[in-house]
Amino acid sequence: MKKIEFSDKANQFETGIFAVLNEKKKELTGRGKQVFNLSVGTPDFAPAAHVMEAMKKACENPENYKYALADLPELIEAVQYRYRHRFRVELEKEEITSVYGTQEGMAHIGMVLCNPSDTVLVPDPGYPLFEMSGIMAGAKVETYPIEEKNGYLPQLSKIPKEVRRRTKYMIVSYPLNPVCVCAPDAFYRELIAFAKENEIVILHDNAYSDITFTDKRGSSFLAFDGAKDVGVEFYSLSKSYNLTGARISFLVGNSEIIQKLKIFRSQIDYGIFLPVQYAAIAALTGPDDFIEEQRKKYEERNHMLCSGLRKIGWNVPDSQGTMFVWAKIPDNYETSFDFCMDLMEKTGVIVTPGSAFGRGGEGYVRMALVADNIMIKEIIKKLEESKIFLDKK
């Protein structure tokens, strides 16, 4: 048989870092070594009881196993309620659509907005899916640097005019995974003005507005004047409500973009499984005390982990938001990958190398706040006993 030749697009994709880390994990556990996995951001908290009950009840109805074809009217109303109640943002029905998680929505939105000659702007470092959004559309992907010295905020005025001219959309996300910082209100106003001046669409990934640790509560991009004129926002139920496996998220904002995405997705999709829609309705219209209690637990873990690491010689700042922590590697390691492999070998602690999030992430690692307080103490003890942070040059 003739050798199968795959498309240029398929050949752009490589084995992800999480698969590499998982192979190393299997090796360590095979040798009987205890491991502590802080690499993947899957919440270890259960969904709220009323959300699971809504899913269970919906699953008992045989009619709910048919094609959904569209979002339930109650689901759209639930999103409207959530944005009004939580963010003080009024949404029209035409400004809302569900997607199978932000991962799927982000992968397809580029195909709706871009031609191959267009440019997509993504943060560096940033979540890998942002770059993939442009690659899937066949567009040119340009990065904008976000650096610690600038509070991990983009310097919009320093983006070259030629790049701005070619850019169709720019992806922004705060609180930002992996660098774990929040953006001030002034930034969003500057961003909206920048988008209008340069005719650039803004895609805001709002995955972590309910997991912040600053004095100011997390907000929405759409809460700022003019946001709907220039862009849209992804709002996921994965992290706030622990519904990662249910794959339910929403794209909200500019109605033209929303409606065009709905037409595009109608060619490849029959709608979100109805029991998932009913679970989402229960989540969006339910009490906020569950979310706040969970946020406080993340905050406690954040402080316990970071302060504990500082005590043993690893100068890790507290995270401002997200369910992660971002830390510089010790000076005596050349790459973040080398540090991660050595850390796993010596302590069993698995973290993600910053290089997985772009060139700007080199020299850092990301840790997920998915260990309870007892395990965090054990992790800190293991790290201290390894003496890795006493060997710094």
- Residue 3 belongs to a domain: no
pLDDT at 157 (0 to 100): 95
- Residue 5 belongs to a domain: no
Is residue 324 pLDDT above 70, yes or no? yes
Residues 200 and 294 reside in one and the same domain: no
Helices (H) and strands (E) in the chain, counts: 13, 12
Whole-number percent of the chain with pLDDT over 90: 87
Residues 105 and 232 reside in one and the same domain: yes
Token pair in block for residue 190: 């500057």
Confidence of residue 44 (pLDDT cuts 50, 70, 90): very high
- Domain count within the chain: 2
- Residue 61 belongs to a domain: yes
Residues 87-114: pLDDT tens digits? 999 999 999 999 999 999 999 999 999 9
Can the peptide bond before residue 160 be classed as cis, meaning omega within 30 degrees of 0?
A: no
Residues 116-140: pLDDT tens digits? 889 999 999 999 999 999 999 999 9
Residues 187-228: pLDDT tens digits? 999 999 999 999 999 999 999 999 999 998 999 999 999 999
Residue with tokens 């890998």: 128
Give the residue, 21 or 105, on which the prediction is more confident.
105
Average pLDDT of span 234-243: 97
- Residue 182 belongs to a domain: yes
> Which of 285, 304, 338 represents a domain boundary (last residue)?
285
Assign residue 69 a region: left if phi > 0, alpha if psi is -120 to 50, beta otherwise?
Answer: left
Start-to-end C-alpha separation, the chain: 56
d(CA 169, CA 200): 5
Residue with tokens 């220039």: 230
Q: Is the pTM of this model over 0.85?
A: yes
> Which of 252, 285, 318 represents a domain boundary (last residue)?
285
Instruction: Quickly list H helices, the chain.
Output: 17-30, 49-59, 73-82, 101-113, 128-136, 161-166, 185-198, 227-230, 255-265, 274-285, 289-311, 336-347, 373-386
Give the residue, 101 or 389, on which the prediction is more confident.
101
Cα–Cα distances in angstroms (integers) from residue 327 to residues 28, 92, 154, 373, in the given order: 24, 41, 19, 19
Residues 264 and 297 reside in one and the same domain: no
Average pLDDT of span 278-284: 98
Is residue 163 pLDDT above 90, yes or no? yes
Single out the residue of 51, 1, 73 nearest to residue 271, CA to CA: 73
pLDDT at 319 (0 to 100): 97
- Residue 162 belongs to a domain: yes
Is residue 393 pLDDT above 50, yes or no? no
Average pLDDT of span 357-368: 96
**Which range marks the domain in which residue 60 is found?**
49-285
Residues 165-190: pLDDT tens digits? 999 999 999 999 999 999 999 999 99
Crossing angle of the two packed helices 274-285 and 73-82, in degrees rounded to 10: 30
Residues 305 and 260 reside in one and the same domain: no
Residues 87 and 36 reside in one and the same domain: no
Is residue 391 pLDDT above 60, yes or no? no
Is residue 141 pLDDT above 80, yes or no? yes
Cα–Cα distances in angstroms (integers) from residue 302 to residues 17, 177, 283, 359, in the given order: 24, 14, 25, 25
Residues 172 and 315 reside in one and the same domain: no
Residues 134 and 225 reside in one and the same domain: yes
CATH of the domain at 272: 3.40.640.10
Residue with tokens 């993340």: 298
Single out the residue of 335, 324, 332 nearest to residue 389, CA to CA: 332
Residues 70 and 30 reside in one and the same domain: no
> Which of 229, 262, 285 represents a domain boundary (last residue)?
285
Residues 326 and 212 reside in one and the same domain: no
Residues 296 and 212 reside in one and the same domain: no
Q: Which helix (H) or strand (E) holds 122?
A: strand 119-124
96 near 252, Cβ under 8 Å? yes
Average pLDDT of span 224-249: 97
Contacts 24+ apart (CB under 8 A), 302-310: 302/213, 302/369, 304/373, 304/376, 304/377, 305/367, 305/369, 305/371, 305/376, 305/379, 305/380, 308/376, 308/377, 308/380, 309/380, 309/383
- Residue 18 belongs to a domain: yes
Confidence of residue 16 (pLDDT cuts 50, 70, 90): confident
Residues 245 and 294 reside in one and the same domain: no
Residue with tokens 């999709």: 269
d(CA 337, CA 334): 9
- Residue 264 belongs to a domain: yes
Is residue 19 pLDDT above 80, yes or no? no
244 near 238, Cβ under 8 Å? yes
d(CA 357, CA 363): 11
Give one DSSP letter per residue of 226-268, joined into a string.
THHHHEEEEEESTTTS--GGG--EEEEE-HHHHHHHHHHHTTT
Residues 293 and 280 reside in one and the same domain: no
- Residue 1 belongs to a domain: no
Is residue 15 pLDDT above 70, yes or no? no
Is residue 1 pLDDT above 70, yes or no? no
Is residue 320 pLDDT above 50, yes or no? yes
CATH of the domain at 337: 3.90.1150.10
